Amino acid sequence: MPNSLGFSLYLSTFADQWPTLVGWTGTGAPVFLSLHISEEFNETYCRRAEEVCRTLASHGFRVIADVSRKTLHQFGCADLVELAQSLQLWALRIDYGFGLEEILAMAEKMPIVLNASTVTADEARIIGARGREVFAMHNFYPRPETGLDEDDLLERTKALQAAGLKVLAFIPGDAQLRGPVYEGLPTLEAHREVLPSAAFADLAVRYGLDGIFLGDPGLSEKEQSRIQRFCRENVLSVPAVMDPEYEDLYDRVFTCRVDSPRRLIRFLESREYSCKGTVVSPENCITRLRGTITIDNEYYGRYTGEIQMIRTDLKEDRRVNVIGQVCKDAMLLMDCIGGGQKFALVRP
């Protein structure tokens, strides 16, 4: 699982993004920066890019620069090695204009990042075998409906990993979104309208990505803290609306029982943490839709107090009370909670 969130940095928004980045200093977080966005070119472009790259490197960030032939011309460098040394870059994402032999020569000297959508299986195997550290990065998709399908992402990722490459992808932000569309920058279309922390967990757990980057410039402090907690403590934060008498279940760390079936998540610590003790009166015994949180009432005898999170719609049961609901934009998190996974219910 990735131990940090990566960031996409844009020279035009660096001043606005820096306060967020400061919170990740010392984590070795990678930062992705494109050095061939034509609309950002002006007479101060090279100087600004140098200042930004050196600032990031001095604070422990690993800078990945997206480069092309145009970049070399813009910076007046003879080759990619000179460019990387000049800007204190950790890795280069090789875009158009470079042949296989050039890429291989570069891969032997420093980490490189390939385009996951365009590199062929044969190229991936060859470069992966020769390179010191080779990654493949999926694109992000600004326009709604153009993001990758789940099956395609999983199949492509597994194939690239089998070829020896580490695979990277993007999640959308929830604060400052990038124009001109302003509808998020996810790799996976299904992530366009979910919480960034849910998209992060999904890519890490269900798709096995080796690195995950924020595509947009902005991420709220709340979402940052949720992702940091997952990276550092392996605890998933699940936003939910709980009935008032069960709000003391917020912020407690639970464990998914290893024998939980696909249809629901069983809270291992139910009896220990239940705010109702050992007796729960029947109340709100309604249909248990996906995302509902339930507690077994006194009609379940010795099972009274067991708490569950429902993944598949279940019919009503007079022995089971519905006490809360996972937020719609966080529902994806339930599919990331496998046996033994730690998680906590949090306020939206």
DSSP-derived secondary structure for 302-343: GGTT-EEEESS-B---TTEEEEEEE-GGGGGGGGG--TT-EE
In this structure, of 22-26, 88-92, 129-133, the range with the lowest mean pLDDT score is 22-26
CA dist 34 and 26 (Å) reads: 23
In the predicted model, is pLDDT for residue 273 greater than 70? no
Element (H, E) at 269: none
Handedness of CA 184, 185, 186, 189 (dihedral sign): positive
Domain boundary among 205, 233, 261: 233
Three-state DSSP string of 104-122: HHHHCCCCEEEECCCCCHH
Examine the domain organization and report whether 328 and 227 are in the same domain: no
Examine the domain organization and report whether 28 and 165 are in the same domain: yes
Q: Among the residues of the chain, which ranges form H helices?
A: 14-22, 45-58, 69-75, 80-87, 100-107, 121-130, 150-162, 196-205, 221-233, 270-273
pLDDT of residue 274: 59
Structure tokens at 5: 């969130």
Examine the domain organization and report whether 152 and 21 are in the same domain: yes
pLDDT of residue 81: 87
Examine the domain organization and report whether 220 and 254 are in the same domain: no
pLDDT of residue 74: 85
Examine the domain organization and report whether 45 and 154 are in the same domain: yes
Q: Looking at residues 227-254, what average pLDDT do you find?
A: 96
Examine the domain organization and report whether 323 and 262 are in the same domain: yes
Examine the domain organization and report whether 19 and 56 are in the same domain: yes
pLDDT of residue 275: 54
pLDDT of residue 120: 92
CATH of the domain at 23: 3.20.20.70
In the predicted model, is pLDDT for residue 222 greater than 70? yes
pLDDT of residue 250: 97
pLDDT of residue 182: 97
pLDDT of residue 2: 84
Q: Could you tell me which of 57, 52, 67 has the C-alpha nearest to residue 30?
A: 57
Domain count, the chain: 2
Examine the domain organization and report whether 114 and 42 are in the same domain: yes
Examine the domain organization and report whether 197 and 306 are in the same domain: no
In this structure, of 17-21, 95-99, 278-282, the range with the lowest mean pLDDT score is 95-99
Burial of 164 (0-12, 13-18, 19+ CB in 10 A): middle
CA dist 182 and 169 (Å) reads: 19
Examine the domain organization and report whether 125 and 169 are in the same domain: yes
In the predicted model, is pLDDT for residue 39 greater than 80? no
CA angle 94, 98, 103 (to 5 degrees): 65
CA dist 171 and 223 (Å) reads: 12
CATH of the domain at 275: 2.40.100.10
CA 41 to chain centre: 30
Domain boundary among 233, 261, 280: 233
Q: Please tell me whether the peptide bond between 180 and the residue prior to it is cis, using omega within 30 degrees of 0.
A: yes
Give residue for tokens 């032999």: 101
Q: Are 55 and 31 in contact (CB under 8 A)?
A: no
Examine the domain organization and report whether 174 and 260 are in the same domain: no
The whole domain housing 96 covers: 5-233
In the predicted model, is pLDDT for residue 65 greater than 90? yes
Q: Looking at residues 146-151, what average pLDDT do you find?
A: 98
Domain boundary among 204, 233, 262: 233
- Going by the DSSP 8-state scheme, the letter that residue 35 receives in this structure is S
Examine the domain organization and report whether 16 and 74 are in the same domain: yes
Q: Are 199 and 227 in contact (CB under 8 A)?
A: no
pLDDT of residue 324: 98
CA dist 134 and 170 (Å) reads: 18
